[in-house]
Amino acid sequence: MMTRQAMFDWAIGAAVIVAMAIFGLYNESGPVRDGIIRFCAIGLYAMSLNVLVGYTGMLSFGHAMFFSLGAYAFCLLLQTGVVGIPSAFVLTVVIAALLSTLVGLVCVRLTRLFFAFITLAIGMLFYSTIVAWASLTGGEQGLTGGIPKDPFFGIDLGDPFHYLMVNVLLFVVSILILRRILSSPFGAALRMVRDNPNRCIFLGINIFRVRLTAFIIAGVYASLGGVLMALYVSGAYPNFAYWTMSGDGLFMIMLGGVNVFLGPAVGAGILLALETVTKTYTSHHGFVLGVVILVTAMGLKRGLLEYVLEKLGAIRGGQGGALDGKASMPAHAVEVGHEATESVSLARTGREQE
């Protein structure tokens, strides 16, 4: 029995897929199409990072590591010629899960600032390894040589429509699953650990396990983004792992809204759009981006999606966000028109009781 929220989510997801399908039928190429594909990759990456930052209160500065792992692992597996795309995909996810478990075991014990430092260090260690191990990864040049895209299950990635839909489907389904996970009791546990870890201990919650699980979920989702990126550029490059990629992830989250489920995705879209627009008109892309972030961070003090939703009354305002130094609840739905005065999820449960 699905909750109203879940049904709504899947409906939106289906609508998006249909819309993209229609778009895809009439657009075989072009900047918008490319933008959508890049958005799917980067959007997944941003959403994955927010599992850590927004939901669990863990500021990771090395998340690019899992994104690049997804890209490199996927490419390398395919280049062996031994596995097809579906198997390479599954294996990449497994590898990502393993690596994030290992890294998580080391990092998760540390508290906020030190967690940021150690994730930065491990992330950059990963980068250094990629660059140094040129025989495996192509070093500074990246993994070139293309990747074989043999058809599988009747899907041919050489066909523009198929390719677009694979990206869209992967994105939408992954996001819906993530939504489910974050709305589950586990999602509540994440937020409790974020809000007050000490009290959690006294409520019998195993903080380490909660954080480690969040870390693994985030790592796996980031690797999914990496896979899509690898498909897009037919390779993998060291800058996927550089700490600025981790920093960009934080930017995206902040631009869209750390306290709203889809905030990071919106932020990813904003960042991509900004990059494209500024690169066409000026070479001072860094300056523009910096100013935009300043205005959002210090002016609005919350991400764009958060701001819009507050104005529309769909989420409670004045909670402060992670940016105000206070914790606030991520809205459980990107739903417009709900009463802002009551707890959204509780209101729904109350209604179902009647």
Partner 1 sequence: MNGVMSIRGLSKKFGNLQVIHDVNLDFTRGALSAVIGPNGAGKTTLFNLMTGQIRPTAGSIKLDGVEITGMDPSGIVRQGVARAFQVASLFPSFTVAEAMVAAVMSHRNTLLNLWGDFPDQEALDRAREILRDIGASGIERQQCSALSHGDKKILDIALALAMEPEVLLLDEPTSGMGREESRLMIDRIHHLWEEKQLTLIFIEHDMEIVFGIAQYVYVLRYGSLLASGTPEEIKHDPKVIEAYLGGEE
Partner 2 sequence: MDPIALWDCMSSPSCVVTQGAAGLISGFTLFLVAAGLTLIFGVLNFVNFVHGAFYMFGAYFAYTAYGLTGSYLLAVLTGAIGVGILGALFEIGFVKRLYEADHLLQILVCYAFILIFDDVVSWIWGVEFLAMGMPDAFRMPPLFIFGGVVPPFYIVLIATAAAIAILMALVLRYTRYGKIIRALASNADMISALGINTRLIYISVFALGTLLAGTAGALAAPVRSLSSGMGFTILIESFIVTVIGGMGSVAGALVSALLIGLVRSFGSVGFPLFAEGLIFILMIAVLILRPQGLFGRSIREA
Catalog residues that contact partner 1 under the rule CB under 8 A.
3, 180-181, 183-189, 191-192, 194-196, 198-199, 201-206, 209-210, 213, 316, 319, 326-329, 342-343, 345-346, 349
Choose among partner 2, partner 1, none what residue 195 binds, the Cβ cut-off being 5 to 8 Å by kind. Answer: partner 1
Please give the residues from 61 up to 120 whose contact with partner 2 meets the rule CB under 8 A: 106, 110, 112-114, 116-118, 120
Between 209 and 326, CB nearer to partner 2:
326
295's tokens: 């205005």
Q: How far is the CB of 120 from partner 1 (least distance, A)?
A: 27
Tell me the DSSP string of 97-142.
Answer: HHHHHHHHHHHTTS-HHHHHHHHHHHHHHHHHHHHH-HHHH-GGG-
Choose among partner 2, partner 1, none what residue 144 binds, the Cβ cut-off being 5 to 8 Å by kind. Answer: none
Q: How far is the CB of 318 from partner 2 (least distance, A)?
A: 16
Is there binding between residue 132 and partner 2 (CB under 8 A)? yes
Between 235 and 321, CB nearer to partner 1:
321
CA distances from 115 to 57, 60, 193, 252 (A): 11, 7, 15, 20
Q: How far is the CB of 74 from partner 2 (least distance, A)?
A: 23
Among 157, 186, 184, 183, which residue's Cα sits nearest to residue 170? 157
Is there binding between residue 125 and partner 2 (CB under 8 A)? yes
| Per-residue x/- track, 185-224, partner 2 (CB under 8 A) | ----------------------------------------
Handedness of CA 79, 80, 83, 88 (dihedral sign): negative
- How far apart are the C-alpha atoms of 72 and 95, rounded to whole Å? 11
- How far apart are the C-alpha atoms of 333 and 199, rounded to whole Å? 27
CA distances from 253 to 52, 221, 242, 265, 352 (A): 11, 15, 18, 8, 33
Report the SS3 class of residue 267: helix
Choose among partner 1, partner 2, none what residue 203 binds, the Cβ cut-off being 5 to 8 Å by kind. Answer: partner 1
* List of long-range contacts for 285-293, beta carbons under 8 Å, 24+ apart: 289/251, 292/255, 293/251, 293/254, 293/255
Between 52 and 166, CB nearer to partner 2:
52
- How far apart are the C-alpha atoms of 278 and 285, rounded to whole Å? 5
Interface stretch with partner 2, choices 15-23, 37-45, 176-184, 283-291 (CB under 8 A): 283-291
Residues that bind partner 2 (CB under 8 A): 53, 59, 106, 110, 112-114, 116-118, 120-122, 124-125, 128-129, 131-132, 134, 139, 243-244, 247, 250-251, 254, 258, 284-287, 289-291, 293-294, 297-298, 322-325
